[in-house]
Amino acid sequence: MKADEHPAALAFGKMHGLGNDFVVIDARGRADPMNAMLAEAIADRHRGVGFDQLAVILSDDESDARLVFWNADGSTAGACGNATRCVASRLMTESGRDRLTLRTERGILACALLADGRVRVDMGAPLISWRDVPLARAVDTDRLPLAGGPAACSMGNPHCTFFVDDADAPTLSTRGPEVEYDPLFPERTNVQFVQVLDRNRARVRVWERGVGVTLASGSSSCAVLVNAVRRGLMDRRATLILDGGEIEVEWPEGGGVLMTGPVMNVFEGVFTPGFLAAAR
C-alpha cells in the first residue's frame, strides 16, 4: 500500500542510531500531523511501530528543516541528538548534500556527513546554571545534593550524570525513574550512569525521560562528556561505549558539543487510515 493511494494515510520511516530508535515523519509543506495520543499509539511496540522518540520534520524559513520531538509517553522533548543525526542523514541522502542545518528548540544545529558515512551534529553549548537545567532551587550543578553526588546540565533537555565504579551495577529500571521524578527536577530529567575507563573512554548506560531504558542517547552522551570535563575526569574528546555501540563526542573550548556516530535507515511504511482514526 502506498501513501498516495490513501489520502488519509501517513507515511513514515523507521531509523536508529546505535539502537536508539525513531519514527520519522516528513510533514514539510503541510500541517504538523502529530499529537500526544497519536504519538503514544505509534510508540506502542505491540499495536503500533515502537520508538524511543518520534521526529516530525517541518518546513522552516531559516534552516533546511525544523524538528519536533515526541517521547514514547506522549510528551515532547526539546532535544534529541541521535534523532537529529538520523534526520540529517535522511535529508542529506535525499538532497545529495553533505551539510545542512536543522532547527530544534536548541536553535539551528549544523550537521555534516563524514567520508566514513557517520553523521556529525553540533549540539550547541551546554547550559550549566541551575535555572537553565532547570532545577527546582539554587544548588551547585557540578555536585547535586542527591545520593551519589551527580552532576547536571542541559543540552536543550535536562540531564543528571552519576559517576560510578561499575556502570552495569545500577538497576536502571528502578534507579532511573527515581531520579527522573525527583522533586529537584521540575521538568523531570534524563539519567546517565558513567564508568570512566580512561581520559578518553567511558562506559555509559542511560535512562531517558519519558522513554525508559534506552540503548543509546545522543544528548545524554553530550551531557556525559560535559559533566566529566567539568569534574576533571576526562579530556574534551572521548569515545563513549553505550549499550548500543560507540559514539564520539567532542567539546571544544568555547564551542558547541560535537556528536558523531552511525545511523541506519531500517524501513519505510505507511500508517493506515484505520490506525490513525483509532489513535486519534
What is the 3-state secondary structure of 127-153?
Answer: ECCCCCCCCCCCCCCCCCCCCCCCEEE
> Which CATH code fits 151-256?
3.10.310.10
Instruction: List residues forming the annotated binding site.
Output: 20, 53, 71, 81-82, 157, 190, 208-209, 218-219
Catalytic-residue membership of 80: yes
pLDDT reading at 7 higher than 90:
no
Residue of 80, 86, 111, 160 with catalytic role: 80
Report domain extents, the chain: 3-108+264-279, 151-256
Cell of 224: 556525559
In this predicted structure, the answer to whether residue 4 has a pLDDT above a threshold of 60 is no
Total residue length of the chain? 280
Which phi and psi (to 5°) does residue 231 adopt? -85, -10
Please tell me the distance from the alpha carbon of residue 74 to that of residue 34, in angstroms, as a whole number.
10
Binding residues for substrate, as ranges, are 20, 53, 71, 81-82, 157, 190, 208-209, 218-219
Please give the share of the chain, as a percent, with pLDDT higher than 70.
97
Confidence band, pLDDT 50/70/90 cuts, at residue 8: low
Average pLDDT over residues 12-19: 98
Whether residue 23 has pLDDT greater than 60: yes
The dotted CATH code for 3-108+264-279 is 3.10.310.10
In the beta sheet, which residues pair with residue 122? 258
Residue 101 has pLDDT above 90, yes or no: yes
**151-256 has the same fold as 3-108+264-279:** yes
Nearest-5° angle of CA 238, CA 244, CA 246? 20
User: Which three-class secondary structure state does DSSP give residue 274?
Assistant: helix
On the question of pLDDT at 249 being above 70, the answer is yes
Other CB atoms within 10 A of residue 118 CB: 17
Check pLDDT > 90 for residue 33.
yes
pLDDT score recorded for residue 280: 77
CA distance 251 to 128: 14
Main-chain dihedrals φ then ψ at residue 273, nearest 5 degrees? -55, -35
**Confidence bin at 5 (pLDDT 50/70/90):** very low
Which is it for strands 53-58 and 264-271: parallel, antiparallel or unpaired? unpaired
**How far is C-alpha 187 from the geometric centre of its chain's CA atoms?**
16
pLDDT exceeds 80 at position 106: yes
- Rounded to the nearest integer, the mean pLDDT of the chain is 95
The pTM for the full model equals 0.93
3-state secondary structure of 268: strand
